[in-house]
Structure 1
Amino acid sequence: MNNYLLSSLCLLAINSAQADDTAPSLMLPAASITAPEVDAEHTDLKTATSAGSRLNLNSLETPASVESLSGERVRARGDRNVQEAVTRTTGITSNGNPGNGGSSYSARGFVGAGSVMQLYDGIRMYSGAGTVTFPVDDWSVERIDVLRGPASVLYGEGATGAVINVIPKKPFSGEIENRIRVGYGTDDTRQQALDSGGSLTDTLSYRLAINHTQSNGWIDHGDSENTYISAALRWQARDDLAFTLSHDYGDQQPQNDFGVPLINGRYHKSLRDKQYNVRDAKLHYNDQWTRLNSEWQINDNLVARNELYYLKAQRRWQNAENHAWDENRQTLLRSGYFSIKHQQEQVGDRQTFTLNHDLMGLNSKTLVGVDYNRIHFDLHSNAPYDDVVDGGEPIDRYHPDRGEFVSHSPYRDQFKTTTQQVSLFAENRTELSDQLSLVTGVRRDIVHLDRDDLIDHTRTDRSLSANSWKVGLVYELTPDMSVYAQQATSVDGVAGLISLYPTEQGFDMARARQTEIGVKQMFWDQRGEWTLAAYHIVKKDLLTPDPNNPNVSLQVGEQSSDGLEASLEMQLPNRWQLQANASVVRAEYDTFDDGGVSRKGNRPTDVPRRTANLWLSKTLTDELNAGAGVRYVDARYADTANTVELPSYTVVDASVSWKALPKTTLGLRLNNLFNRQYAISQYNSGQQWIMGEPRSFFVTADYTF
C-alpha cells in the first residue's frame, strides 16, 4: 500500500502544479463526442440509463423497470459498498456469503449469479462456479443502473431477475480536481482514498480513484483489508473520434465469516461475534479489468463503438466452512475443510453501430452489434473434500479452539475449461406517432464449451445456442408521464456456464418469459417522480431430481413469480428530500421435486415476499446536511421444503455531513442505529446465519484542491 500512496502523492503534486492559477487555462475544442460529466449528483426519469437499452434511452422512453443511483448519493448515504447501495433500490436483496464471493442478489423471485447479472461498465465477467467478486468498492462509482426483469436480449445468458451495471468514474475535461479522504470508525476501521481527474492537455483527460480500507472486524479474528484502483485516460483524437483506456484493480481479503450456527434450530445472540474457522483460513479475491473503448461519429446519423477488454480473476478459499450442532452429543461440530482456487481469464470484444434513420416515414433508431468472448477457467481444490474427522471435529461453541486446516483429500488440479461465446444482436426504437413508440430487440447466442478433466484425463465438449427477444410499447401521456407494456425473454444456464460438469452439459438452457406493464411520471414541476410496475415471469426447464433416482436430474422444473414494484422521490419544501420504494412478490415452484418430494407451491429459497426502503434527508444550512433511512426485508426460506426460515428485519442508518471549511468536509455515518441482530443471508442450508454488522460509526474528512 505504501507504493500506492507514494504514487498518489506524486500525481497530486503534479496535478497541483498544473492546476495553479498561473498555469495557462485549457480551452477544449468543440467536439461531437464529449467526455462524460463528473459525478452527477442527481438522476431522474429523464437521465439516460445504460442498463435498460443500448439506444441511450431515458427511463420515460424505456418499456421496462429501470432505476439509476448516482455515486454521490451512494456515498452521501454512507453505504459501505456496492451491495449496500444496490439493495436500497427497488425489490433487490442480498444473499451474499463467502461461498458465492459475497456478491449475490435476489430480484423478482430469482436468485444468484445465474439469474441476476452483474456488469462493470457494461461488461460482464462470466461467473465461474456461481462466484462474482467484483465490483464491491463504491468510492470509484459514478452511477449504478438497474434493470429489473429478463434482459438476455441485451446481455446474453443469465439475466432473468435483474441486471446491475456499475459505472466507474470517468475522465472529464476542465481544470484538474483532487479529493483526499481519510476515515476512522468502529473496530479500528480505517480508510485512505484519493479521487483525481481533469484535463492534462487540450486532447487528454484522466480519472484516478484509489481506495484502501482496513478493519479489525466485528467478529473474533475478523480482520479485513481491501485495495481498489480505477484509472482511465481519454484521448480526443479528433472532433469525431475518441479513445478511452481504463484499468481497474481490486484486491480483497474480506472478513472471513461463514455465519453463526443454529443451536437446536435456534439462533443464540451470544454467538454473534464468535469465529469458528481455522487459524490458517484464507479468503482472497484479486480482480483486474483492462478496457479500450473507441467511439467514432462516422456522420450525423451513424456512430460506431468498440469495446476491447481483458478480465482476470483469481480467487482463493481455504476454510472449515460448516459449523453444525449435534443434538445427540450436545456439541458443535466443525467440518467442511474446503480448499479451492479459481483462475479465470476473459478476452472479449463488442462492436456496435447506431443509426438514426427513417422507417417508412417514421423516425427510427437502430443498433446492431456483435459480441465475442473467450474465457479460460481453471479449478484447483481438495475435492472430494474428505475431512480427517468423520462427521466433524467437536469444538466449544463459546471458546472454540481455532486449530489448523487439515484434510484427507489432496489439493490438486481438478479441471480446466475454454468457453467461446459469440452473439449477434439488434435493437430498434421507432416513433409510431408523436406519443407512441415501439422498442424491440433480438439476440442470437452461440456458446461452445471444452472441458478437460485433469483427474481422469478425459475431455468433453458441448455447444449451446439460444434466441432472445423483447417488444415493448411506450405511450407518452404528457412530456413528463408515460405508460408502457412489454414482453421479454431470457435464458439461464442450469449452472455456471463456464464451469458445467459433464453431467450438466447435456442439458439445454432454462428459458423465461416476462409480461410487464407500468407507469412513470415526473410531477410538481419535476420536483417529484413516481413509478409503478406489475409483472409476471415464468421460467421453465429447471433441473429437478428424478423421483425414481435422486442421483439423476431431469430438466422439467418450472418456477413463476408475480409482483408489484413502486418508487417515489420528492424534493420537499424547506429543503427536505424523500426517496422511498417497496415491492411485493409472489414466487413459487410450479413443478419441482426434491428428494422425491414435490415442492409445488413452495417459495424459492432466499426470496422475501416484501421489501421496502426509505431515506429522508434535509439540508439544514448551506454547510450542513443530515439524513436517515430505513431498510426492511421480509422473512426468507433457506430450503426448498420451506421449513428453515430467516426472520424479517428492519434496520435504521443515518448520516451527517458538514462543510467545515471551503475545501474541507467532515462526515459521520451511523449504521444499524438501534443495534438490531439480523441475518442478511444464510449458509449450509440455513444452519448458519450470515449476520448484519452491529451498531457502528465511521467518521470521514474530505479535502479538495
Structure 2
Amino acid sequence: MNKYLLSSLCLLALNNVQAQPLTLPTGTITATAVDNDTVSLNTPTTAGSRLNLTAMETPASVESLTGEQIRTRGDRSVQDAVSRSTGISRTGTPGDGGTSLQARGFTGQSSVMQLFDGNRLYTGMGTATFPVDTWSVERVDVLRGPASVLYGEGATGAVVNVIPKKPFDGEIENHLRVGYGSYDRQQQAFDSGGSLTDTLSYRLNLNRLRSNGWIDRGDSASDFISAALRWQATDDLTFTLAHDYGDQKPMNDFGTPLINGHFKDSLRDKNYNVSNDKQHYNDQWTRLTSDWQISDSVSSSNELYYLKAQRRWQNAENYNFNRDTQQLSRSGYFGIGHTQEQIGDRQTFTFKHTLFGLDSQTVTGVDYNRIRFQLDSNSPFNDVLPNGQPVDLYHPQPGRFESADPYRSQFQSTTKQMSVFAENRTQLSERWSVVTGVRRDYVHVDRTNLIDDSQSDKTLTGNNWKAGLVFALTPDTSFYGQYATSTDGVGGLISLSPSQQQYDLATAKQTEIGMKQLFWDQRGEFTLAAYHIVKKKLLTDDPGNPTLKQQVGQQSSNGLEASLDLQLPHAWQLQANVAIVKAKYDDFSAVVTGETVSYNGNRPTDVPRRTANLWLSKAINDDLKAGAGVRYVDARFADMANQNELPSYTVVDATLSWQALRNTTLGLQVNNLFDRQYAQSQYNEGQQWILGEPRSFFVTADYTF
C-alpha cells in the first residue's frame, strides 16, 4: 500500500515544482487581542514539537483550530471541536467526564492524551474534566499518532493541547456575551485583556452556563474563571502567573436502554437515574511561567504548576431489559469520589547551533510531577436488590440511591514522575531536514489500602524515540516520513491496583508517510498521511487460570487521512477531512463463562472505520456571515466480541452571524439541524446508548468595548 501511495504523492507534487530557492517559513506565537480567524501549514504548532516548528516543518500529522473557529461553529466543549478534526471521534461517558476520544484506532485517556497549556493532568481511573468549556480557548493543537517522546506514557493515538487565551500588550479590550437557547440554555460570559502598565498586561475570562437539558431531570451548570498576569521584567525576561478554576455539574445521562436489542424513540428523553444522583467536578490549576532569552542562541523556559481536582459520582448506572420477563431493571449503584493534588515543574533550554556545520536547533528538558490521589467509594458495589430494582419503562420512578456497602475511603497513592527529554531539528540541505527526539520516563507509585492498611508499590520506566525526515520539494510542498514509539499504561498510573502493578507499560510503534501542500497562491492547503501502528503487551485472560492476566496481547491499525482547506472566490471557504482506519485485535482473548474466547481479528470497541467532516462558510456581505457543517461517523462496535453495533450517523449544524452595530454582533447556532437520532457513545457494553442532542438553537449577542 505504501509503495503505491508514495508514487501517487510524488506524481501529485511534481505538478507543482517551482525552480526557486527554498526558504522554509518560521515564526513565533504571539498573543493578540483578537483570536486569529485562521491557521495554516505555516503556523507554529505546540502539539507536534517543542521546537516551535510549523506544521510544514513537522514530520507528523498536526492540525490546529482557533478559538474563534470553535466558538463560531457552536462547539461547546473541546471534545466537540476536536471531533471535527481529521480521524477523531467522541467516545465519552459520565464515567470518564465525557471527555474520552478515539484516534487512529485507540480510545480513552490512556491512549489519547489531553493537555492544558502544554501541561498534563495525570488522570485517576481514566477521568479528565478540564477545561470546562471553549470560551477561554485561544487555540487547540492536535498531533495524531504516538507522542510519548514529547509528553510521556498514554499518547499512542493522539495528543490534544488546549491553549488558553493569553495576556497581550495594548489598549484594554472587553468582550461581553449573553446567550439563550433551547432547553432554557443560558450563557453569560466576559473576556477582558490588555496592558495595565508598560510592563504589566493581563487576561480575564468568565463564563457561566446553565441548562435544563433535553432529558427529564437533565439540569446542568458550569462556571469557569481564567485569569493571567504577565510581567515583562526586562526585554529578555518575562513572568506569567495564571490561575484557572472550573466547577461543573454536567447533564447526568447514562444513556437510553435498548429494548430487545433495539432503540425506541419514545424513550429518548427518559431518565432512569435516581433522584439524588451526583456528577460534580471541581478543578483548579495555577501556573507560574518564566521565559528567558539568555542570548541570541540560548533561551530558557520554566513552568511551575499546581493542580487540585475533586470529582464525585453517585448514580444508578446500569439499565437492563430482560427479554424473558419484558421488564427493565436498574442496578449498578455506584458512589465514587476522587481527590487529586498534583505539583509539577518543567524546565527546558533551547539552543540554536550548528551540527557538523549544519544549522540545527535543540531543546532539552526535565519534567517532574508529584501526584497524591485518593479514591472513596462504596466498593465492592453490592446492590440492595441483587437482581436489580424494577423500573417502569415509560414512567420511571427516580427513587433514592441505595447500596449494600458503605461509602468509605478505599486507597491513597503517591506517584512521583520524572523524565528527561531532548528534541533536535537539523537542516541537512536546502530541501532536506531531519527531526529526532528521545525521552526517558521514570514513575514510582506508592499505594496504601485505607481499609486494611496494606501497601504496594511499583516502579515503571519508559524509553521512547522518534526520527522523521522532511523533504521540501518546493517552498509550498513537503513530503515526510517518520518512525515513532510510545508507551501506554495498563490503567491510569496514579490509580493502578495491586494486580495491575505487576505489569509493564504497553508499548507501541508507528511508521507514517505523508505530504503537505500549499497551492493556488496559498489560498488552498492539502494534507495526506498513511500510517501503521502496532501496540503490544495488552492484558489478556490466562486460559489456564481465569483469575490471572497475561501481558501478551497485541492490537494494530492501518489508516489513511486527508484534509483540505480552500479560500474560494466570492468569500466562500471550505474545510473538509476524511479518515479511513482498519483496526483489529491481533492477539487478544478473554474468558467468558469459563471458556477462553479469542477476539483475534475483531475491531476494538468504539472505533469507526470511517469518519468525515465538512464545513462551508460564506461572507454574504461585510456584516452577514453564514456557515454549515456536516459530521459523519461510521458504525462502531460496543463490545470486543463485535456483536453489539452502534449505527453510523450524519449530523448537520448551521450558524449565522450579523454585525448589527459597530460593536454589536448577533449570532444564531442550530445544532443537529435535521433532528437526527444517533448514538454518540455507549455504556454497559452497548446496552445503553448515550444519544446526541436533538435539534436545538442558541442565540447570542456579543458586545465589544
* Shorter-normalised TM range: over 0.9
| Distance of 1:578 and 1:78 partners within structure 2 | 17
1:321 lines up with 2:321 in the alignment: no
Unaligned runs of 5+ in 2: 1-26
Aligned with 1:151 (options 143, 147, 154): 147
Distance in 2, Cα, partners of 1:611 & 1:340 = 34
Q: SS of the counterpart of 1:150?
A: coil
Aligned to 1:547: 543
Match in the other structure for 2:63: 67
Alignment match, 1:179: 175
Alignment partner, residue 578 of structure 1: 574
* Separation in 1, partners of 2:175, 2:245: 20
Matches within 5 A, 1:104-253: 104-253=100-249
| Offset of residue 548 of structure 1 | 2.1
Aligned to 2:75: 79
State the 1:637 CA deviation.
0.3
Which residue of 2 is the match for residue 28 of structure 1?
none
Q: In 2, distance between residues paired with 1:494 and 1:220?
A: 37
3-state SS, counterpart of residue 60 of structure 1: coil
Quick one: percent identity of the two aligned structures?
68
The match for 1:523 is 519
Cα separation, 1, equivalents of 2:114 and 2:171? 33
Query: Match for residue 487 of structure 1?
Result: 483
Distance 1:281 1:673 in 2: 31
Is contact 2:199–2:232 with CA below 8 Å preserved after alignment?
A: yes
Task: Show the 5 A alignment for 1:583-598.
Answer: 583-595=579-591, 596-598=596-598
Following TM superposition, by how much is the alpha carbon of 1:614 offset from its aligned partner in structure 2, in angstroms? 0.2
Shift of 1:328: 2.0
1:505 maps to 2:504: no
Residue deviations 1:305-330, cap 9 Å, x none?
00000011100000001111012221
Aligned 8 A contact 1:33 1:239 in 2: no
1:35, distance to aligned residue in structure 2 (A): 5.2
| 2:699 corresponding residue in structure 1 | 699
CA deviation map 1:13-65 (0-9, x unaligned): xxxxxxxxxxxxxxxxxxx9995223222100000000000000000000000
Q: What is the match of residue 414 of structure 1?
A: 410
Q: CA deviation at 1:79?
A: 1.1
Match of 2:4 in 1: none
Kept in 2: contact 1:33–1:242 (CA 8 A): no
RMSD (CA atoms): 0.9
- Secondary structure of the residue aligned to 2:395 is coil
Amino acid across the alignment from 1:52? G
Q: Look up the match of 1:308.
A: 304
The answer to whether the aligner puts 1:36 opposite 2:31 as a matched pair is yes
How many Å apart are 1:135 and its aligned residue? 1.6
Counterpart amino acid of 2:207? N
Residue matched to 2:385:
389
> Partner of 1:614: helix, strand, or coil?
strand
Q: CA contact under 8 A between 2:477 and 2:516: conserved in structure 1?
A: yes
- Kept in 2, the 8 Å contact 1:594–1:640? The answer is no
SS at match of 1:61: coil
CA deviation string 1:72-102 (max 9, x = no partner): 0111111122111010000000000101110
Residue type at the aligned position of 1:407: S
| Counterpart residue number, 2:664 | 664
Corresponding letter in the other structure for 1:253: K
Aligned partners of 2:28 and 2:52 also within 8 Å? no
Is the CA contact 1:365–1:430 (under 8 Å) kept in the aligned structure 2? yes
Q: Given residue 259 of structure 2, which amino acid in structure 1 is its aligned partner?
A: I
User: How far is the alpha carbon of 1:300 from its aligned partner?
Assistant: 0.3
Distance 1:684 1:456 in 2: 31
Question: Secondary structure of the equivalent of 2:621?
Answer: coil
Partners in 1 of 2:85 and 2:375 — Cα distance? 34
The TM-score normalised by the length of structure 2 is 0.95
SS of equivalent to 2:530: strand
Q: Which residue in 2 is equivalent to 1:455?
A: 451
Instruction: Tell me which amino acid in the other structure corresponds to 1:520.
Output: K
- Map Cα deviations across residues 347-369 of structure 1 (whole Å, 9 max, x no partner): 00000000000111000000000
2:10 paired residue number: none
Is 2:346 aligned against 1:350?
yes
For normalisation by structure 1, the TM-score amounts to 0.95
* Residue pair 2:28, 2:44 contacting (<8 A) in 1 also: no
1:632-656: CA deviation from partner (whole Å, max 9, x where unpaired): 0000000000000000000000000
C-alpha distance in structure 2 between counterparts of 1:700 and 1:270, whole Å: 31
How many aligned residue pairs are there? 674
In 1, Cα distance between the equivalents of 2:630 and 2:28?
A: 41
On the 8 A contact 2:132/2:247 being kept in 1, the answer is no
Q: Does 1:55 align with 2:57?
A: no
Aligned residues of 2:132 and 2:248 also touching (Cα < 8 A): no
CA contact 1:308–1:349 (8 Å) conserved in 2: yes
Question: How far, CA to CA, are the matches of 1:34 and 1:440 in structure 2?
Answer: 22
Letter paired with 2:508: A
Output the CA distance in 2 between the equivalents of 1:231 and 1:582: 37
**What's 1:18 paired with?**
none
SS in 1 for 2:80: helix
The partner residue of 2:462 within 443, 466, 484 is 466
One-letter amino acid of the counterpart of residue 440, structure 1: T
Q: What is the letter of the counterpart of residue 554 of structure 1?
A: Q
User: Which residue among 324, 345, 365 is the counterpart of 2:361?
Assistant: 365
Alignment partner of 2:253 out of 253, 257, 262? 257
> Counterparts of 1:47 and 1:37 in 2: how far apart (Å)?
15
Q: Is 2:293 aligned against 1:280?
A: no
Between the aligned partners of 1:408 and 1:227, the Cα distance in structure 2 is 35
2: CA distance, partners of 1:221 / 1:679 = 20
CA displacement at 1:194 relative to structure 2: 0.1
